[in-house]
Chains A and B, each alone.
Chain A
Amino acid sequence: MSETTAEEQSEERKQPPSKADTAPMSANETVTAEGWRPDPAEVKVSVRDLSVYYNGDQALRSIDMDIPEQSVTALIGPSGCGKSTFLRSLNRMNDEIDAARIEGSVALDGQEIYDEDVDIVELRRRVGMVFQQPNPFPKSIADNILYAPSKHGDVSTGLIDRLLGRASPQEADALVERSLKAAALWDEVNDRLDDSAMGLSGGQQQRLCIARALAIDPEVILMDEPASALDPVATSKIEDLIADLAEEYTVVIVTHNMQQAARISDQTAVFLTGGELVEYGDTDQIFENPQSQRVEDYITGKFG
């Protein structure tokens, strides 16, 4: 992916690039760099013509996007431009909102997730989510991680299982350890797994939420501004973690922080007013040489 783009980038630098001026056009067109397209074999989530309406107001306009697997895709843009709405469309969290109407298609590994007979529970196992405010359950650290897996049947830790002799405490412990290690939290908490999660610091709580999401073995991890409520030290730990996670998982992250997006993501999508996806492409290219005037204005801070 990177080679072709770089070649074509240097091609374009030979002539003064003409900015495609995106005054609001009737048909929404996402500007991407010439020839930049994720390798179809590597596409994990494919979004076609996705529109979301809240009580009649359109929050997302016909979004087309292919998200490559095992990489970090950042969604940036001013507040209220639909980034979170888009994210929540990928695991059908918008279904929980009565006022929301969704049109278009989202496909996970080629399978349409808005199909009638899709099991939402299964979908959310494969597409996990981490929220802006750390929100651990009012349980112990270990129980936070084990609750969902035990409901899904991955481990047996319930009272009934224990009474029936079906419990698998070693599996449970192993899962807790695996998840905490993957979230870079194991070293800090392994001696107090039975303590309440509420006693952890903000950054630790957020990593616990990540561990909790990892415990159900997802393939895609959606993150809605995961570090915006944290201090700089905790933030940088999360960023390092994201880079590690991207080796195994497909990470899609909404962020207000453009420097963060530039630092950690492989590709970036820019959402501007009204839920438009204005430009989407390789991160370096978006930040160094955006195709769209509006995007350049946004990035250089002329507005938004």
Chain B
Amino acid sequence: MALESTGRHRYRKVKANVMVGLTVVALVLALIPLGAVLYLIASKGLAALSWDFLTTLPQAPMAGEGGGGVRNAIVGTVWVVVIASGFSIPIGVLAGIYLNEFGDNRLGQAVRFTTEVLSGLPSIIAGVVVYSIVVVAMGDVTAFAGGVALSLLAIPWITVATQDALDLVPQANRDASLALGVSRTETILFVVLPSAFGGVITGTMLAVARVAGETAPLIWTVGFSKFAFHGPFSQTATLSILIYNYATSPYEAWHQVAWGAAVLLVGLILVTNVVARTLWALRRRKMEGRG
């Protein structure tokens, strides 16, 4: 009645270990491309960065000159993101509040389901639809239309993020406030929202950063431009479209510019992510410290 391993046991143990090894291989398989992307962006992109790069306009890469700078694209991206935020943050936050605080009914169910489905909306469709309405109405592609298209994508993200943040606030807090005779709205505005504020900010920041990197919605709504920014109601360059156009062009100089723009975009997204998550973690620790 010994307790030592038999052949079969050893086989099973070896098999178990091999399988663990395979999962590690899977992880590596996913992370190597990420590493390659980050490395390339960093090495090629940083090489392209310079003060000129940030402050001049793109130019045709003839005669051995570089591909120019991305000033208009940076401005364009900022504008488009700001316009998108202007639409999506109020709508998203309010809808998130509705769903979590007032949404226990049929309308709430419908909105919840629609929000979830919209978060899977193909990004190109957002652009196509906004084209058919806004661009056609305004007669031309504009930064404004691009902002609207981006907000179609961002609204579900912000709604869900707000909902999740509000959900984290314990029901006891609401009950205590209501029991004191405070109205539901005042409870939400003065008790729940302040508590959930950090989460809402985090979610919004992440959504905005994500939106800055979107390209497909802008194809049909903003187009591209080599010229300086003209105002929100005209065509403009954006970083993402610039990358799309220049990467698919045959010019090496423009490829360089694309890498430079890529490092700007990824840098922005990374920084926003890290800041947002750190703020969130700090806030959580503060709340837990108060216990």
Q: Could you tell me which A residues sit within 8 Å of B by CB distance? A: 108-109, 111, 113, 115, 117-119, 121-123, 126, 151-153
Contacts and interface: CB of A to CB of B under 8 A. Distances in A.
Interface string B1-43: 1111110110011000000000000000000000000000000
Contacts, number: 31
A122 B3 contact: yes
Contacts of B12: 121, 151
A111 B2 contact: yes
A152 B11 CA distance: 11
Interface of B: 1-6, 8-9, 12-13
A122 B8 contact: no
B4 A117 contact: yes
B1 A119 contact: no
Given A118-B3, A121-B12, A152-B8, 5 more contacts: A109-B1, A115-B3, A121-B9, A121-B13, A122-B6
B8 A113 contact: no
Contact of A118 (B4, B6, B8, B13): B4
Contacts of B2: 111
A119 B2 CA distance: 9
B11 to A, nearest CB: 10
Nearest to A219: B1
Secondary structure class of chain B's binding surface, majority of residues: loop
B254 to A, nearest CB: 54
Contact of A111 (B3, B6, B8): B3
A118 B12 CA distance: 15
A147 B2 CA distance: 24
B118 to A, nearest CB: 33
A177 B1 CA distance: 26
Contacts of A153: 8
B123 to A, nearest CB: 37
Contacts of A117: 4-5
A117 B2 CA distance: 11
Contacts of B6: 119, 122
Contacts of A108: 3
A172 B13 CA distance: 24
Nearest to B13: A121
Nearest to B7: A153
CB-CB nearest 4 A-B residue pairs = A119-B5, A118-B3, A121-B9, A153-B8
Which of A108, A123, A153 has the most chain B CB atoms closer than 10 A to its own CB?
A153
Which of A119, A123, A126, A151 has the most chain B CB atoms closer than 10 A to its own CB?
A119
A8 to B, nearest CB: 33
A119 B4 contact: yes
A101 to B, nearest CB: 22
Contacts of A152: 8
Contacts of A122: 3-6, 9
A123 B3 contact: yes
A117 B9 CA distance: 13
Contacts of A113: 3
A118 B1 CA distance: 12
A118 B13 CA distance: 13
A122 B9 CA distance: 8
Contacts of B8: 152-153
Nearest to A119: B5
A111 B12 CA distance: 23
A163 to B, nearest CB: 19
A237 B8 CA distance: 37
Contacts of A119: 3-6, 9
27 contacts: A108-B3, A109-B1, A111-B1, A111-B2, A111-B3, A113-B3, A115-B3, A117-B4, A117-B5, A119-B3, A119-B4, A119-B5, A119-B6, A119-B9, A121-B5, A121-B9, A121-B12, A121-B13, A122-B3, A122-B4, A122-B5, A122-B6, A122-B9, A123-B3, A126-B3, A152-B8, A153-B8
